């Protein structure tokens, strides 16, 4: 019988997070060097969910020690490791290498310095609402759905929960705070799902700053009326 969601999360939830970081990336971890994919997972998790690192190490090591057979995989009783470009015979040793890197990172206790994301997974993990906004409202179909970029932004703001709009504004400010080259901002919006160019005359960073100002400008502090003197 296939696992229920709660059972899956308890046994493989964080393992799945780690493996997801490898999709589209080489699984080229070495005992003395973590892969780019694993470094991205470490950077993001140290700064957002540091307690999850120990869970990941435990789940990966346990899976490597007790790899499932094909029958139990076909029955849905175990987590199936996606194809990461390694021969099946090498997957077990690779998992042990990952677990060792995770344990070493935890024991060292040194969080990686913040920097711009370096992988597709890391961009989406760090800026999830921005990915939703750019991929959902600024795909290649955007010119057919909206009169212009400003109309698309207004549609997002009008149809989205205000808390998510506020989250997007925060992610935009965080992205702009990376202070990278303009070409890197172009890479960022492409990685996050934008398939059309920013409106003229804006470069990507200038348009993102404009959107951040528009979305953040709607929040104002409310003050109660002063009490009348007795």
* 28/94 Cα distance (integer angstroms): 9
Question: How far is the C-alpha of 151 from the C-alpha of 29, rounded, in Å?
Answer: 46
Instruction: Determine contact, residues 66/123, Cβ cutoff 8 Å.
Output: no
Three-state SS string across 10-76, please? Answer: HHHHHHHHHHHCCCCCCCCCECCECCHHHHHHHHHHHHHCCCHHHHHHHHHHHHHHCCCCHHHHHCC
pLDDT per residue rounded down to tens, the chain (230 residues) = 456 778 878 888 999 999 999 999 999 999 999 999 999 999 999 999 999 999 999 999 999 998 876 656 665 667 788 899 999 899 999 999 999 999 999 999 988 888 999 999 999 999 999 999 999 999 999 999 999 999 999 999 999 999 999 999 999 999 999 989 999 999 999 999 999 999 999 999 999 999 999 998 654 445 455 555 55
Q: Is residue 134 within 8 Å of 198, Cβ to Cβ?
A: no
> Is residue 149 within 8 Å of 199, Cβ to Cβ?
yes
């Amino acid at each position: 019988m296939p696992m229920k969601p709660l059972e899956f999360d308890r046994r493989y939830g964080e393992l799945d997070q780690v493996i997801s970081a490898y999709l589209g990336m080489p699984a080229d971890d070495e005992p003395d060097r973590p892969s780019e994919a694993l470094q991205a997972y470490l950077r993001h998790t140290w700064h957002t969910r540091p307690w999850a690192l120990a869970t990941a190490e435990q789940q990966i090591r346990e899976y490597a020690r007790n790899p499932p057979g094909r029958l139990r995989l076909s029955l849905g009783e175990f987590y199936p490791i996606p194809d990461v470009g390694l021969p099946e015979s090498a997957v077990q040793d690779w998992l042990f290498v990952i677990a060792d890197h995770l344990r070493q990172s935890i024991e060292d206790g040194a969080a990686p310095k913040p920097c711009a994301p370096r992988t597709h997974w890391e961009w989406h993990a760090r800026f999830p609402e921005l990915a939703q906004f750019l991929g959902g409202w600024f795909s290649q179909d955007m010119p057919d759905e909206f009169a212009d970029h400003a109309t698309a932004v207004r549609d997002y703001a009008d149809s989205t929960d205000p808390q998510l709009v506020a989250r997007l504004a925060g992610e935009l400010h965080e992205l702009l705070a990376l202070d990278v080259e303009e070409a890197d901002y172009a890479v960022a919006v492409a990685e996050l799902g934008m398939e059309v160019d920013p409106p003229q005359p804006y470069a990507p960073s200038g348009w993102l700053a404009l959107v951040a100002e528009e979305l953040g400008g709607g929040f104002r502090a409310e003050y109660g009326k002063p009490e009348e003197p007795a």
